A and B are shown apart, each in its own frame.
Chain A
């Protein structure tokens, strides 16, 4: 059967650079024409199990019913079967509770003459179709943010930057069944389908994905390149791709570009350098320090060489390396971004001019090179973008450090405490809502005291944060009728911490440990159940308020970030409007200068001109 199969496919998966385990799973069954990507979620190993369970259940069902059911029903039922399997597995094991997975699956019914692909999905794993070099998304993400965009509540641009853009509105496994979306795509020669998890498109631009898919390389090579692309983009998530070729094109333009295209471009190297010189490359501050000819040869000549090698091998690695070296070398020496941008623009203009000149001689080759060079130029932009992103990250880290230093230097004063209470983040910090042993019975107060003593003894002496948390809890239990006391204890416990995982996780871990210690201690006291319940109620309420107050302090600390962002956005908007106004003014000025009538009729003032009847001037 496989000998007659016209469809080629390959998949690849990688854990990424941040996650400890791979919670993605994939399926490439070339004999049945079934392909799938699953992206699992859930604590511990649950995500991994969810994705694998769904994949196995889907494959089992689809293999069994492939020849019995219509294609759409087959995929829909197979995914519902997978959903039920994940749900049942989660119910059977408490540690797997809450697990789920996304799914995007593709079925090509006729493998000898692939004319149609049926695609089904749940969640935010995606399917793309590459046709004639253009990539289009076949699936719509099942995320809450996508839903907000569909309802017109936020713009697509805001959605891209939304901090919760990955929260799903549907998945396999959260419930016994779910809604499955199914689409059908007609296929033609040269078409290529990509299935991927969000680890790809979250860390690589669509342009770069399109570029690699359109390279003409075999699916296994492209799958590897796509994984590499996501890792270069940060690799912040597990990444999985499946590339499906729906059949060979009559003749690949890529082969033409690799042979005669690359050679023709290389033959015009001198022309390329001449155009770059004409565009003012020699005058760029980036070329200072070397004789002009040598500098132009170094920059333009090297770029042309990198372009040639990339066209020849159908890759982007040479121009990527060129752009990174050029950008990093310039910016590391304090060079201005505008200058680098100017040089890149000159190189782009030279590339376009040379391709135009080739097109004049050979129209087809020119058209093919046009696309190939445009792709290479996109790679240059990506490389420089990557460089800037690295710099942004380092600026971000510096800002966080500066903020931590500023927070450390800020003394906690009484005035500060009262300010915090004037507009409390947490409602129970209002003066009317105190809690303490003052209103509790003597027996409950004694039970609380005893519980705290037992908990303190049970906690390791060297676990300082745990001991301090117990002390804070005790203080709130004694003085909790004064909300300021809760704030003071929370503030003291919070101390000086960096606002990140490293700073906050130990604090929350200590708080959780104290909860367990104190709860156990209450059960160990020798009081009646009613007194124990009263003591637990009081301690739990104090505990809840302590943790919520710490959270309120954290939210207060991070609040200025949003405010400052809004101010910066307003300033950018004002600048943009100013620029638009000036551009309009300049356009008016250009038009005024170009109108001969103003020179020919100097006697007419603008007012008189306006006073003429409409059409009179035109008729004249």
Chain B
């Protein structure tokens, strides 16, 4: 298996378009996740999941959007499938790589979806907090305006 991993690793520049300047950290992390899946084999779903979750969380924490990650996921998957089809002569090996790439792609999609949902819940709670703050601010603004109006009318009198 390690030979197969090495052969896929050789495709890194082609898949990530490093020469064309198209590579990004998130694409590189996703490519690493596929290599990791190939190294671990299909028995260790928990291990691959931890790797994928870590990669997705790290990219989101650094400020990448979920949409951008989803696009990167599609980019890496499609380019890897094309690169493997071109470079591999052994179809058994090609199928192993396709399976690993699809597995990682599905896991990444799920991690992105769940992150999006979690973020939305966070945003909704933050909005409720904002609305409560607005209510208090509105009360304070009304109070100030009334006081000012009272003073100007008493001065006028």
By a beta-carbon cutoff of 8 Å, the part of chain A in contact with chain B is 41-44, 46, 94-99, 143-145, 148, 153, 161-164, 167, 337-338, 388, 392, 395-396, 399-400, 425-428, 499-501, 504, 508, 511-512, 515, 519, 522-523, 529-530, 532-533, 536-537, 540-541, 543-545, 547-548, 550-552, 554-555, 558, 561-562, 564-565, 568-569, 571-572, 575-576, 578-579, 582-583, 585-586, 589, 593
Contact = CB atoms under 8 A, between A and B. Distances in A.
Interface string B124-150: 111111111110111111001101100
A518 B140 CA distance: 63
Given A515-B103, A544-B106, A575 B138 contact: yes
A43 B50 contact: yes
B51 A561 contact: no
A508 B130 contact: no
B102 A515 contact: yes
List 7 tightest A-B contacts by C-beta distance, closest first.
A97-B47, A98-B50, A43-B46, A558-B120, A94-B44, A529-B91, A164-B61
Interface in B94-108: 94-95, 98-99, 101-103, 105-106
Contacts of A145: 61
B18 interface: no
B77 interface: yes
Given A167-B57, A337-B136, A548-B73, 6 more contacts: A98-B54, A392-B128, A426-B70, A533-B91, A586-B147, A586-B148
A396 B94 CA distance: 48
B87 interface: no
B123 A164 contact: no
B114 A501 contact: yes
23 contacts: A41-B50, A43-B45, A46-B46, A94-B40, A94-B43, A94-B44, A95-B47, A97-B47, A98-B51, A143-B61, A145-B61, A400-B124, A499-B120, A504-B117, A511-B106, A515-B106, A543-B106, A551-B113, A558-B116, A561-B119, A564-B124, A579-B137, A593-B151
Q: Is the interface of A mostly helix, strand, loop or mixed?
A: helix
A425 B67 contact: yes
Contact of B130 (A44, A547, A572): A572
Interface string B61-86: 11100110011011101100100010
Q: Chain B interface: which size bin?
A: 35 or more
Nearest to A554: B113
B104 to A, nearest CB: 10
A558 B118 CA distance: 9
Interface in B16-60: 36, 40-41, 43-51, 54, 57-58, 60
Contacts of B139: 338
Contacts of A576: 137
A95 B67 contact: no
Contact of B127 (A512, A547, A568): A568
Residue among A562, A571, A578, A586 with most chain B CB within 10 A: A562
Given A98-B50, A338-B136, A540 B61 contact: no
Contact of A541 (B61, B78, B131, B137): B78
A532 B90 CA distance: 12
B43 A544 contact: no
A167 B58 contact: yes
B145 A558 contact: no
Given A97-B44, A399-B128, A515-B102, A550 B109 contact: yes
B61 to A, nearest CB: 4
A525 B134 CA distance: 64
Contacts of B41: 94
Contacts of A161: 122, 126
B112 interface: yes
Given A504-B114, A544-B74, A568-B130, A43 B49 contact: yes
A532 B91 contact: yes
Contact of A551 (B50, B62, B70): B70
A543 B105 CA distance: 10
A500 B116 CA distance: 10
A399 B124 contact: yes
Contact of B92 (A500, A501, A529): A529
Contacts of A519: 99, 102
Contacts of A508: 106, 109-110, 113
A589 B44 contact: no
B121 interface: yes
B148 A163 contact: no
A562 B132 CA distance: 17
Contacts of B94: 533, 537
Contact of B70 (A96, A395, A425, A501): A425
A565 B47 CA distance: 36
B117 to A, nearest CB: 5
Given A144-B62, A572-B134, A544 B117 contact: no
Contacts of A96: 47
A164 B57 contact: yes
Nearest to A43: B46
Contact of A555 (B67, B110, B124): B67
A99 B50 CA distance: 8
Contacts of A95: 43-44, 46-47
A540 B123 CA distance: 34
Which of A161, A544, A582 has the most B CB atoms < 10 Å from its CB?
A: A544
Nearest to B145: A582
Contacts of B106: 508, 511-512, 515, 543-544, 547
A582 B128 contact: no
B50 A561 contact: no
Contacts of B61: 143-145, 148, 162, 164, 167
B125 A392 contact: yes
A532 B75 CA distance: 24
A427 B74 contact: yes
Contacts of A515: 102-103, 106
A572 B120 contact: no
A548 B109 contact: yes
A589 B99 CA distance: 75
Contacts of A143: 61
Given A98-B47, A396-B125, A571-B134, A555 B118 contact: no
B119 A540 contact: no
A558 B119 contact: yes
Contacts of A42: 46, 50
Contacts of A564: 123-124, 127
A548 B141 contact: no
A54 to B, nearest CB: 16
Nearest to B52: A98
